[in-house]
Structures are given as structure tokens and as C-alpha cells.
Amino acid sequence: MCAAFLVGCGTAQAPPIPATPDPAAPRLNSTTGDAATLDAEIATILAGYQSGIEVSVWVGGVEDEAWYERNADVWRASASAIKSAYMVELFDMVGRTADDAGLEMGLDQRLDIVASVVNDASHPAVVHFDDAQRAEIKSHLEFADTRQIARTMIRGDDVPNVVYNAAANVVTAALGGPERVTERLRARSPEWAAGLASRRYMLAARHVTGDNEATARGLAAVLRGIAAGNIPGIDPALYEPMREILRAGDDPELGRQYAKGGSLTSDPQVRINTGFWEKGDDVIVYVVMLERLDPGELSREESYLQLDEGLLGVTAAVVAAAATALRPQ
């Protein structure tokens, strides 16, 4: 199965490279969607490119255990994929503040900190942008409500890339800065604690305070929690607004999709797909992370294009195998 949303599903014809799944993990278990077949397909896809691409995968339902995983506990740069967790923490903070004030959720209220951030060129959330970029950020975000800022941070629809990422920086500032965001994430659940870390504002230098990082298992825990509506401490009324922002489309075979991706073009380059598919009672949660530490002889653009193509192919293979495993045999 190769759903229409996943282009580039064909794989290069090259000898498979050794697979490195977790041998202790639960396995996909249908005759046409088994783990060995998926291992070989992922290996073949990656063997079609020059060396240096590393991959992490977690796919399963809303339960803790994966149906298939591969390097799921390896820390990699998270890029924008971590923003789903930021949204959870933002909505929780705003919801609690509104509840204390006797308001309903508060998602349609403006964040008090936004105006001070976008009007202060020295604030660490925006100091790394130039004057023109800060003016663009201010025009889009200064009077936006919480729901709009979250949508801009997650979807980035009809805004420049700097605004898309500055929206996450405003959220980070509202939550107390990167260090405090990490504390919040790690207090949320053991899986979040073991797999999520915020260390810098988006588009700031990656190697000064450290990169934002995650494991495939950690990102999957966020998506599983949103899909199941069971993240510890989150008001049940907040799930539908979060799901509405993450909603990415529909497919006749797979159902309704909720998704958040991420990418970084500087070293190490990464491309990430995360999300979940819902069809009836069936849920497929998936995380695919591709990383290249050094493009070697490739140009940066060529290297990134390989990651992009490889991500599409691996994601297609992973989701197809999971969907096959769900079918009655």
C-alpha cells in the first residue's frame, strides 16, 4: 500500500544494509507486514543513497509498546518535531491560568509576554533575527491569541519561516525559556523525561547552549498521548484544539491524519515525520527520524534532498507495514 499523501514510495534497487531494530521490541506480525520485511525495505531505501544516513523509527498504537522500533532511544536533533510537545505545555499553562481566573480554556486570549518579546530586540527569543525579520515577526504575532500562535508554530501556513519558528520562540519564552521548558517536559511523564530536551530558541546557534533533541520513543509518547487523550495532568477539553491544529488531511485507506514534521539543513542535517492516523478504532502512531552528521562530498542541498526523499520512502514503508498488520488475516 502506498497512500497518495506519501509520494516517493518506490525504493532504489541496491543490496540491503544491516538492519538494527530492537530485538526485544514487539513485532509487526502479519505475513506481509512483518518486521523482517520492513527491516529489508528500510535498508534498501537507504542503500540507494550515499552513506551516512542514520534512521530512528517508532510505530505502534496508543499503547506503550511499539509494533516495530529501530534505534528508538537514540538522541537526535528534533528540529520542529518537538513543537507538538511545546503546544501541549502551552495549552496546559494557559488552561490552568484561565481556570484560576474563571475563564473557559483561555486559548482565544493573547499571551501577556508576546508584546514584550517582539518589541525587545535584545530578548533571546528574537535577538538572532535582523530588523526586517523582527518587524515581520511582530506584524504576525504581536496581537495573535494563544490558539493562533500555536497554529503558526505547528503549521506555519502563509507565514515566512522566521515567523513559523519565532512563534515557537514566543511559546518557549512564555513557558520560561528552554531550560524551564525541559523541566516541564520531563515532569510530564517518564517517557517524556527520557526522550525530550529543549536547549535553544529556534533558529539560534545550534552549538552554543546545545541543540533541541529527542528520541523517536519520546516524540511517539507525545503523539500517543494526544491521540489517546491521556497525557498526565492535561484537561480533557484541550485535546480537541490540539488535534485540530495537528490535523493534516484524510486518506480513504488510512483514515484521518494528524502530523508534525521537522527539518534542519545545517549539520547535523535532519528530516523528521511524526504523527498518527485514525480510522475507526484503529490508530497508527509513527515517528521517522533521518539524520546525516556530515554530507561528505555531497553539496548541502544534495544531501538534504537525499534525506527528504529517504524520509518519504521510509515513512511510506513504515505506515504501510503498520496498516497491513492491523488488517484481519
pLDDT number for residue 21: 46
pLDDT number for residue 184: 98
* 3 pLDDT more than 70: no
* 10 pLDDT more than 50: no
More reliable by pLDDT, 63 or 31: 63
The 269-279 sheet, strands edge to edge: 68-70, 53-60, 282-292, 269-279, 255-264, 247-251
Judged by average pLDDT, the poorest of 4-8, 109-113, 172-176 is 4-8
Per-residue pLDDT band for 142 (boundaries 50, 70, 90) equals: very high
Please tell me the pTM assigned to this model: 0.89
pLDDT number for residue 36: 86
How far is Cα 41 from Cα 241, in angstroms, rounded to an integer? 36
Per-residue pLDDT band for 104 (boundaries 50, 70, 90) equals: low
How far is Cα 292 from Cα 327, in angstroms, rounded to an integer? 35
* 18 pLDDT more than 70: no
109 contacts: CB under 8 Å, gap ≥ 6: 94, 98, 103, 145, 146
Per-residue pLDDT band for 12 (boundaries 50, 70, 90) equals: very low
* 38 pLDDT more than 70: yes
Of 83, 108, 106, the closest CA to residue 246 belongs to: 83
Per-residue pLDDT band for 328 (boundaries 50, 70, 90) equals: low
SS3 of 62, please?
Answer: coil
- CA Rg value for the chain: 20
SS3 of 116, please?
Answer: helix
- The set of cell numbers assigned to 281 is 478504532
Q: Hey, how many other C-beta atoms are within 10 angstroms of the C-beta on 2?
A: 15
63 contacts: CB under 8 Å, gap ≥ 6: 224
* 8 pLDDT more than 80: no
- C-alpha dihedral, 47 to 52 to 53 to 56, nearest 10°: 110
Q: Over the range 251-260, which residues count as b (16 or more CB within 10 Å of their CB) and which as e?
A: beebbebbbb
* 105 pLDDT more than 60: no
183 contacts: CB under 8 Å, gap ≥ 6: none
Of 320, 323, 314, 234, the closest CA to residue 273 belongs to: 314
Alpha-helical (H) ranges within the chain are: 35-47, 83-100, 113-118, 131-141, 146-154, 161-174, 178-188, 190-195, 216-228, 239-246, 300-326
How far is Cα 146 from Cα 144, in angstroms, rounded to an integer? 7
* Each residue's pLDDT tens digit, 272-319: 999 999 999 999 999 999 999 999 899 999 999 999 999 999 999 999
